């Protein structure tokens, strides 16, 4: 069975086991819906169209709120649905996210508080998170291009450079998880979260595709060069890069980095020296699938990971422990999405470069 056949079986398993009408209007669910639409485009089918349409339709009936980065992300799929159908409810939901990006108060520079004005913003320090590059930055780039929105494009073009200014470590060139206004610095310092750096790599590559920003290209090359030394002998990446032997390997980080590298090669940003590491990372995650009858599971994806107030690395207690003790799950939505996006880039690259294996 080929990699793409295994990916489709994993996607089918996810859809069978998760009712789209019961899913939250939030980032993890949004990314898996968007990735399914990308997979449909790759295989030239509408295999998942009804599934992600049910997701959007159910939320239109309930009413949506876009009040933070995480609730902006679903516009990735409402925009795609508007492109495919021309139906105005999807444009209405997409416009709510555009309005959020344009009108939400800036925390520093042109960057928005990750938690916006949501209920979460009352409980967590005002901060920017690397996650927002994917949750709102990629959407902003797509919408700016497709709607010819110059104001939104200016906003999108500034995001990579400003996130890098506040979150990138000068010494390692890796990205911190967050920056807190009250501390006026990155937090936690010198802990380099795997999925967060995966968000950065994939987002820079995807945002370049929609903006053709040389700033995106330079940041992608910079962090990619730094990441090469952190790839494990089994081709995975750890959940925290700079704690080797003291945490665990993590599949969503590995898939995101593979997706970003493969996209970067396709866009002519990264050289062929990234091809083998990217392909081996992608295949390593696929080869680690678990099978149960017709069901297929992506494994070793860390669950929600939040920069904690106290002992951000070693905290064991509470619903959100420190990085080292975050539990892992199977077919976690954003993990599934990350791997599907990597598969789309891999299969597309094979079509463009027939010698890729």
Instruction: Say what the pLDDT of residue 321 is.
Output: 96
Q: Are 225 and 173 in contact (CB under 8 A)?
A: yes
CA dist 89 → 83, 85, 95, 149, 247 (Å): 12, 10, 10, 20, 45
Rounded-to-integer distance, Cα 205 and Cα 266, Å: 9
Instruction: Say what the pLDDT of residue 142 is.
Output: 98
The two tokens of residue 58 are 């159910």
Pick one of 1.50.10.10, 3.30.565.10, 3.30.70.260, 2.60.40.420 as the CATH number of 3-352.
1.50.10.10
Q: Are 24 and 69 in contact (CB under 8 A)?
A: no
Closest by CA position to 191, among listed 238, 237, 241? 241
Q: Are 51 and 29 in contact (CB under 8 A)?
A: no
Q: Are 277 and 262 in contact (CB under 8 A)?
A: no
Question: Which runs of consecutive H residues, i.e. helices, occur in the chain?
Answer: 3-17, 27-43, 49-62, 69-72, 75-85, 88-103, 120-123, 131-132, 138-147, 150-167, 194-211, 214-227, 251-266, 275-287, 333-352
Rounded-to-integer distance, Cα 291 and Cα 286, Å: 11
Instruction: Say what the pLDDT of residue 298 is.
Output: 98
- Low pLDDT (below 50) residues in the chain: none
The two tokens of residue 337 are 């999405």
Sign of CA dihedral 124, 69, 133, 43: positive
Q: Are 160 and 212 in contact (CB under 8 A)?
A: no
Q: Are 85 and 43 in contact (CB under 8 A)?
A: no
Closest by CA position to 241, among listed 192, 314, 277, 200? 192
Instruction: Say what the pLDDT of residue 356 is.
Output: 86
Q: CA 58: distance to chain centroid?
A: 23
Instruction: Say what the pLDDT of residue 193 is.
Output: 98
- pLDDT tens figures, 56-98: 999 999 999 999 999 999 999 999 999 999 999 999 999 999 9
Closest by CA position to 200, among listed 229, 175, 221? 175
Rounded-to-integer distance, Cα 196 and Cα 220, Å: 14
- On whether the pTM is more than 0.75, the answer is yes
Residue with tokens 């290209």: 217
Instruction: Say what the pLDDT of residue 357 is.
Output: 84
In sequence order, the 6+-apart residues with CB closer than 8 A to the CB of 89 are: 57, 60
Phi and psi at 250, nearest 5°, equal -140, 130
Instruction: Say what the pLDDT of residue 175 is.
Output: 98
Instruction: Say what the pLDDT of residue 176 is.
Output: 98
Residue with tokens 């005002």: 126
């Amino acid at each position: 069975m080929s990699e793409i056949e295994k990916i489709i079986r994993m996607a089918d398993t996810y859809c069978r086991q998760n009712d789209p009408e019961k899913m939250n209007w939030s980032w993890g669910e949004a990314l898996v819906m968007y990735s399914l639409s990308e997979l449909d485009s790759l295989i030239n089918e509408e295999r998942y169209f009804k599934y992600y349409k049910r997701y959007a339709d159910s939320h239109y009936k309930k009413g949506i709120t876009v009040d933070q980065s995480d609730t902006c992300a679903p516009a990735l799929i409402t925009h795609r649905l508007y492109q495919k159908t021309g139906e105005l409810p999807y444009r209405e939901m997409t416009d709510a996210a555009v309005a959020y990006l344009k009108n939400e108060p800036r925390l520093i520079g042109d960057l928005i508080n990750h938690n916006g004005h949501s209920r979460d913003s009352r409980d967590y320090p005002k901060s920017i998170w690397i996650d927002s590059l994917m949750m709102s930055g990629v959407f902003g780039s797509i919408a700016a291009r497709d709607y010819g929105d110059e104001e939104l494009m200016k906003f999108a073009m500034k995001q990579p450079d400003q996130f890098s200014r506040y979150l990138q470590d000068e010494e390692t060139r890796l990205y911190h998880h967050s920056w807190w206004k009250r501390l006026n610095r990155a937090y936690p310092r010198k802990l380099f979260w795997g999925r967060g750096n995966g968000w950065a790599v994939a987002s820079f590559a995807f945002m370049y595709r929609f903006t053709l920003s040389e700033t995106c290209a330079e940041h992608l090359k910079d962090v990619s060069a730094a990441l090469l030394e952190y790839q494990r002998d089994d081709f995975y990446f750890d959940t925290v890069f700079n704690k080797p032997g003291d945490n665990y390997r993590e599949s969503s980080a590995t898939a995101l980095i593979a997706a970003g590298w493969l996209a970067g090669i396709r866009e002519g940003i990264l050289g062929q020296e990234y091809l083998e590491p990217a392909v081996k990372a992608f295949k390593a995650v696929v080869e680690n699938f678990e099978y149960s009858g017709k069901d297929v599971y992506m494994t070793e994806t860390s669950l929600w990971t939040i920069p904690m107030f106290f002992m951000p690395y070693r905290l064991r207690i509470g619903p959100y422990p420190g990085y080292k003790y975050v539990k892992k799950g199977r077919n976690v939505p954003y993990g599934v999405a990350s791997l599907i996006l990597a598969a789309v880039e891999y299969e597309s690259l094979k079509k463009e470069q027939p010698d890729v294996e």
